[in-house]
Amino acid sequence: MHVTTADKRAAFRKMHESGCFILPNPVDVGSAKALQHLGFKAIASSSAGFAWTIGKADNHVTVEDVCQHLAALSSAVDIPVNADFEGGFAVEPDRVADNVERGVRTGVAGLSIEDSTGDKDKPLYDRALAVERIKASRKAIGDSGTLLVGRCEAYLWGITDLKLVIDRLTAYADAGADCLYAPGLKTREDIAAVVKAVAPKPFNLLIGGSGLSLKEAEDLGVRRISVGGSLARAAWGGFMRAAKEMAEKGTFAELGSGYSGGELNKMFS
């Protein structure tokens, strides 16, 4: 049965109403199909994971690259896809809005916008500008049904100020974000505080170094869990270990730890 974009968007919104779910991050069509095959109900793109597949560093891809990638993912699976849309590939709110419109047209069910500038000397946009960027994204999404995720990147840039994070996330919620995300949070206390602050809107946890299980995160009130580039790094880990062994030792032992080709063919047939 063909699942329409509208169906995916409605299903994705429903998933955010209760419980907690894992939102794993594929890097390409094959890994997206594999995650659907394993029973995941939704997936999210990874800016880093995708960038590495085309030989680029994270945050060095273009909006054209990303929209092509998102369209490919969305058309390849029958489950919702959430877009890691970085900072909207622009600074000014109106240009962010134009790019968000492009992102929505790829068929994604959700789309996130970050508040980081990429400049280590001034890593976050001024609060007022960051809020306007979320408002512009909300307007661009319109009545498409696509879910908007507002992200505060403070902790990833070493700004471990929980009050600042909460202030920004609540402002993003007021500006129209449907789900809130602050990657880098690790302690149960910080996670619980943010969940409480943004409620009743759902909170996305980057599992990172928190050490939490799905059940433990759910007990804290987390609605969804993503893993960022971790699956991509795991895959690259196996690839690089085997390749380095061949290059440096001329031996092939690591190749024996690969996933069964027969199982892969079976999964994709």
pLDDT tens digits, 92-126: 999 999 999 999 999 999 999 999 999 999 999 99
pLDDT tens digits, 148-160: 999 999 999 999 9
Q: Residue 208 above 90 pLDDT?
A: no
Cα 24 to Cα 11, 61, 86: the distances in Å are 17, 21, 17
Q: Which numeric CATH code is attached to 5-229?
A: 3.20.20.60
Q: What does the alpha-carbon distance between residue 104 and residue 5 come to, in Å, rounded to a whole number? A: 10
Break the chain into its structural domains and give their ranges: 5-229
Q: Residue 1 above 70 pLDDT?
A: no
Q: Residue 214 above 70 pLDDT?
A: yes
pLDDT tens digits, 31-57: 999 999 999 999 999 999 999 999 999
Burial class (CB in 10 A: 0-12, 13-18, 19+), 248: exposed
**What length does the chain have?**
269
> Of 205, 126, 137, 138, whose CA–CA distance to 168 is shortest?
126
Per-residue pLDDT averaged across 180-195, rounded?
97
pTM of the shown model: 0.96
In DSSP terms, 111 is beta-bridged to: 83, 148
Q: What is the mean pLDDT of the chain?
A: 97
Both tokens of 140, joined, read 């661009």
Determine the distance from the C-alpha atom of residue 54 to the mean position of all C-alpha atoms in its chain, rounded to a whole number.
Answer: 18
Q: Residue 87 above 70 pLDDT?
A: yes
Q: Residue 95 has what pLDDT?
A: 98
Per-residue pLDDT averaged across 164-173, rounded?
98
pLDDT tens digits, 120-139: 999 999 999 999 999 999 99
Per-residue pLDDT averaged across 10-33, rounded?
98
pLDDT tens digits, 51-78: 999 999 999 999 999 999 999 999 999 9
Burial class (CB in 10 A: 0-12, 13-18, 19+), 241: middle
